[in-house]
Chain A
Amino acid sequence: MNGKTVIPFGPQHPVLPEPLQLKLVMQDEKIVEAIPAIGYVHRGLEKLTETKEFTQNVFVIERICGICSFKHALAYCQGMENLMGIEVPDRARFLRVIWGELHRMHSHLLWLGLLADAFGFESLFMQAWRDREKVMDIMEATAGSRVIISTNQIGGTRRDISPEMLAKIVDVVNDVKEDIERVEKVFCNDYTVKHRMVGIGVLSKENAKLWGAVGPMARGSGIAEDVRTLGYAAYGELDLEPVVETDGDCYARMKVRLRELYQSIDLIKQAIAKIPEGPINVPVKGNPNGEVISRVEQPRGEALYYMRANGGKTLDRLRVRTPTFANIPTLLKMLPGHHLADVPILILTIDPCISCTER
């Protein structure tokens, strides 16, 4: 092999929370090529949705991913609502924004912790997860569970949030904001962090477009693309600007996620200030018929759902294109030319969610 070595990275690796395998073809310390191998956590959930009633599918779909379960359910519910012509009550649309942004916050805080762990900054990792716990507690107090909150249903939401609880959410997010400001200083200014991130894995704007990067990957390279700006749920009535950084390196992608935390806090406060009174769901009548595409912005980027129904209780087909699936090609193109020691950071900055990808 002309002095080339193949080093398997994963599926078990300290920085990987989920099993992704990359076969790294190395020339000395530099990567020449990366060959992915996925399929370690395939659970056949897409097939399972064809055997369950379309209303039950919400629970199945939430289990595609633990971290962005609410967003998956949201994509499915919005698609089915469009297909069946259901008008969702205003209060439910705002509740969806509040829970959705809480989910983005806990996902990004989790990611920041994992990133700190990847470059060996244990105390920073603990700090980020400590702050995340406040968001998780709010989730459990409002929805009943920490991660798979099961509050979406076709036609609205299953639970309401009381005015006292809404006030408490504002207090908690303000509190979390102070915490984030403290860790942000470390993430943005620390010598160790900068040394590991600045100038590593540069993705130009043209390449990000060419390879189909989504979410914080694309926004870190200067593409102002955010599905939320299309105004689904109640995002249309809230003040929202996509967070964009132009450098395109790992540091820029981290800054995008840090700034998105502030954006989420702002959106939650806006939604709580504007939330109207009224019902939270409408009954679903009849069965779906036809096909529909639904898109939402998840913490990791844009997720695309395709559903086809035939007028019966079950769906003919459900297909999910998750953000990590879209970002893996970009990762493979970015890896060649980098040192082996930079691989964990590069893999983490796409925020891989392999459970999503393999479903």
Chain B
Amino acid sequence: MFDMIGNIFKNLGTKPATRCYPFEKREPFEASRGRVKGIEIEKCIFCGICSRKCPADAIRVDRNAKSWEIDPFKCVICGACAEVCPKKCVIMDEAYTQPTTAKDKLTYVQAAKEESQSQAG
């Protein structure tokens, strides 16, 4: 019993193990797999390897429409897409996905000319 009392007094003397979350955020680790942020669409060659290797079927690539789409709510953030991409244009981010109010997909369409455009919706 006195062992635990010792622990408790030690804990009273040290700062809390938890954080006051919304005010004090933890910096994500450098190597952390937080989310798939998107794609550098102008580099993409629409080979579709990412969509075939995705274990959750979250990515849809359309070669004709030159579009790349990810469903962040299906994505299991394994990072397989970023690993197999031959052009290394899938961007991973170390921060976790923020909560949202709508289950939107993330769509990128490559512009016909050199200029690129991206839209979410």
**26 A-B pairs with C-beta separation under 8 A:** A52-B55, A59-B56, A59-B76, A123-B8, A127-B7, A130-B17, A133-B17, A137-B29, A140-B31, A141-B29, A141-B30, A141-B32, A142-B31, A144-B29, A144-B31, A145-B33, A145-B77, A150-B79, A158-B79, A182-B6, A182-B7, A185-B3, A189-B3, A190-B1, A190-B3, A191-B1
8 Å CB interface, A103-158 against B: 123-124, 127, 130, 133, 137, 140-145, 150, 158
B55 adjacent to A59 (CB under 8 Å): yes
A292 at interface (Cβ–Cβ under 8 A)?
A: no
B104 at interface (Cβ–Cβ under 8 A)?
A: no
B29 adjacent to A59 (CB under 8 Å): no
B3 adjacent to A140 (CB under 8 Å): no
8 Å CB interface, B43-60 against A: 53, 55-56
**Distance of A287 Cα from B44 Cα, bound (Å):** 29
**Distance of A312 Cα from B33 Cα, bound (Å):** 31
8 Å CB interface, A188-236 against B: 189-192
Report, nearest first, the 3 A-B pairs whose CB atoms are least far apart: A144-B33, A59-B55, A185-B3
B80 at interface (Cβ–Cβ under 8 A)?
A: yes
Which residue on chain B has the smallest CB distance to residue A63? Answer: B76
**Distance of A141 Cα from B27 Cα, bound (Å):** 11
Chain B residues proximal to chain A, CB less than 8 Å: 1, 3-4, 6-8, 11, 17, 29-33, 53, 55-56, 76-80, 83
With contacts A137-B29, A182-B7 known, what are 10 further pairs, Cβ within 8 A? A53-B53, A60-B55, A63-B76, A123-B8, A124-B4, A140-B29, A141-B30, A159-B31, A183-B7, A190-B4
- Which residues of A sit under 8 angstroms from B11, Cβ to Cβ? 127
**Distance of A182 Cα from B10 Cα, bound (Å):** 11
- Which residues of B sit under 8 angstroms from A182, Cβ to Cβ? 3, 6-7
- Which residues of B sit under 8 angstroms from A12, Cβ to Cβ? none
- Which residues of A sit under 8 angstroms from B17, Cβ to Cβ? 130, 133
Taking the nearest CB of chain A, how far is it from the CB of B59, in angstroms? Answer: 13
Count of chain A to chain B residue pairs whose CB atoms are closer than 8 Å in the complex: 59
Chain A residues proximal to chain B, CB less than 8 Å: 52-53, 55-56, 59-60, 63, 123-124, 127, 130, 133, 137, 140-145, 150, 158-159, 182-183, 185-186, 189-192
Taking the nearest CB of chain A, how far is it from the CB of B83, in angstroms? Answer: 7
Taking the nearest CB of chain A, how far is it from the CB of B29, in angstroms? Answer: 4
Which residue on chain B has the smallest CB distance to residue A57? Answer: B55
- The SS class assigned to the B binding surface is loop
Taking the nearest CB of chain A, how far is it from the CB of B25, in angstroms? Answer: 15
Taking the nearest CB of chain B, how far is it from the CB of A175, in angstroms? Answer: 13
**Distance of A190 Cα from B29 Cα, bound (Å):** 38
**Distance of A176 Cα from B33 Cα, bound (Å):** 25
A150 adjacent to B78 (CB under 8 Å): yes
Which residue on chain A has the smallest CB distance to residue B31? Answer: A144
- Which residues of A sit under 8 angstroms from B30, Cβ to Cβ? 141
Which residue on chain B has the smallest CB distance to residue A184? Answer: B3
B80 adjacent to A59 (CB under 8 Å): yes
Taking the nearest CB of chain B, how far is it from the CB of A284, in angstroms? Answer: 13
Which residue on chain A has the smallest CB distance to residue B29? Answer: A141
**Distance of A124 Cα from B3 Cα, bound (Å):** 11
- Which residues of A sit under 8 angstroms from B32, Cβ to Cβ? 140-141, 144-145
Taking the nearest CB of chain B, how far is it from the CB of A243, in angstroms? Answer: 22
**Distance of A124 Cα from B6 Cα, bound (Å):** 12
Which residue on chain A has the smallest CB distance to residue B53? Answer: A56
A186 adjacent to B3 (CB under 8 Å): yes
Which residue on chain A has the smallest CB distance to residue B3? Answer: A185
- Residue in contact with B79 in the complex, picked from A127, A144, A186, CB distance below 8 Å: A144
- Which residues of A sit under 8 angstroms from B29, Cβ to Cβ? 137, 140-141, 144
**Distance of A183 Cα from B10 Cα, bound (Å):** 13
- Which residues of A sit under 8 angstroms from B56, Cβ to Cβ? 59
Taking the nearest CB of chain B, how far is it from the CB of A125, in angstroms? Answer: 11
Which residue on chain A has the smallest CB distance to residue B77? Answer: A145
B7 adjacent to A186 (CB under 8 Å): yes
- Which residues of B sit under 8 angstroms from A60, Cβ to Cβ? 55
Taking the nearest CB of chain A, how far is it from the CB of B12, in angstroms? Answer: 11
Taking the nearest CB of chain B, how far is it from the CB of A174, in angstroms? Answer: 18
Taking the nearest CB of chain B, how far is it from the CB of A126, in angstroms? Answer: 8
Which residue on chain B has the smallest CB distance to residue A55? Answer: B53
Taking the nearest CB of chain A, how far is it from the CB of B36, in angstroms? Answer: 12
**Distance of A324 Cα from B21 Cα, bound (Å):** 36
